Structure 1
């Protein structure tokens, strides 16, 4: 049976039993095959845009004896599915901008889809912003660390009261008497992740701070006005992250 990485196992955990799944950018169809082998999906589509990955996915499905359950298809994004054919869509291992683009371009194919499970490698805020604009409700989110990398997994659903739920989810949040997060910062940090304040979240943002320090160190070599302005902006961004994380740790204690 197929074994999954910690990242893909986290995504699999958000797929409800009996789902009709579309896994876009399926990476050898690992996730659909894993779920089908365990009877967790009634039907699955493994979508790939290029011939090479599609052939690798077909081989994986054939070797698992699951051709009757997992359909491997080649196409761009959600073009591989028909409206009302699927009720859960997973997209993982891409940038947040690309995931948002795939969803926007294929939103006509989301009829009948009740759950999105999305794992952007970067720009998670862009995915949250797309969900919010499309009246999808962020129902859960996780942050995990694997092989020195940090990943966020976002699970969103359709609700009749999406507007009300989203208004509450992204409402101004006071962490203590001295610090409050507005909706844009909640979109950046993750409203549910902020509430949980897991240790992995602190490690993730510590890693981001280290990246910002390296960028600013490099920029200090340049003497242009534009470089100075950009460095000032990054420093303000860095200081705000540090302030939020310090406050969260104090609240958690």
Structure 2
């Protein structure tokens, strides 16, 4: 992967950045994504944010190598603290767990003023991101799911709007867990992901059935049974 040829998951993220948007890529690593979209003329400028010194330096080096220092600002900081309110139109956060993405958005809520689109790619725990979006007035407008190097990734695209709109005519808990657009589309990758997850839940449930019973194990059993029921209905 380089700035010319992104990985499939980052290409999917790039494809959902609006033309002409001012971009902040949080957790930018080598800054491949902002370099790519600036070079392609998709965005006029970008901010690459990193909290760790190693990736921060890698991003600086990459932007210098691409001769894009006049268009890409590499900043060190925790989450959205690297931007100012009204400074960008679109924020991308890719390659982290859903809980961490939600935490970054929650801690940086004051920085979302003027932001019109979020493009989020959680590696796991997409449900946590969907829940945050609902709770904070962001409407999911699109979802994608893809497999790359034997790993499955989801891309969630949101704009300010009606948070519950995509979940109409479906069970809200199922929609948050599986993704309202992905649930309707039922792609082969979606089926693979949730059939594998279902087998894992069944394995854990069997272990719990054989374990010493107490309030904790019973609570976990009921939670898994509820998830399995939703998965069976989703995969019909």
Specify if TM > 0.5: yes
- Looking at structure 1, the residues matched to 73 and 82 of structure 2 have their Cα atoms a distance apart, in angstroms, of 10
Aligned length: 233
Q: Secondary structure at the match of 1:41?
A: coil
Equivalent residue runs for 1:102-181 within 5 Å? 102-158=104-160, 162-163=161-162, 166-173=163-170
Kindly state the Cα deviation for residue 229 of structure 1 after the two structures are TM-superposed.
Answer: 4.7
Q: Secondary structure at the match of 1:230?
A: helix
Kindly state the Cα deviation for residue 132 of structure 1 after the two structures are TM-superposed.
Answer: 1.3
Aligned with residue 80 of structure 1, among 82, 85, 101 = 82
State whether structure 2 residue 211 is matched by structure 1 residue 222: yes
Aligned with residue 221 of structure 2, among 218, 231, 237 = 231
Structure 2 gaps of 5+ residues are none
- Looking at structure 1, the residues matched to 42 and 187 of structure 2 have their Cα atoms a distance apart, in angstroms, of 28
Kindly state the Cα deviation for residue 220 of structure 1 after the two structures are TM-superposed.
Answer: 4.6
Aligned with residue 198 of structure 2, among 205, 209, 212 = 209
The match for 2:179 is 190
Moved over 4 A (4+): none
TM-score (normalised: structure 2): 0.92
- Looking at structure 2, the residues matched to 240 and 14 of structure 1 have their Cα atoms a distance apart, in angstroms, of 29
- Looking at structure 2, the residues matched to 198 and 237 of structure 1 have their Cα atoms a distance apart, in angstroms, of 20
State whether structure 2 residue 25 is matched by structure 1 residue 23: yes
- Looking at structure 1, the residues matched to 117 and 41 of structure 2 have their Cα atoms a distance apart, in angstroms, of 19
2:139–2:164 contact (8 Å) kept in structure 1: no
Moved more, 33-42 or 46-55: 33-42
Q: CA RMSD in A?
A: 1.7
- Looking at structure 2, the residues matched to 2 and 167 of structure 1 have their Cα atoms a distance apart, in angstroms, of 37
Kindly state the Cα deviation for residue 217 of structure 1 after the two structures are TM-superposed.
Answer: 4.3
- Looking at structure 1, the residues matched to 135 and 222 of structure 2 have their Cα atoms a distance apart, in angstroms, of 31
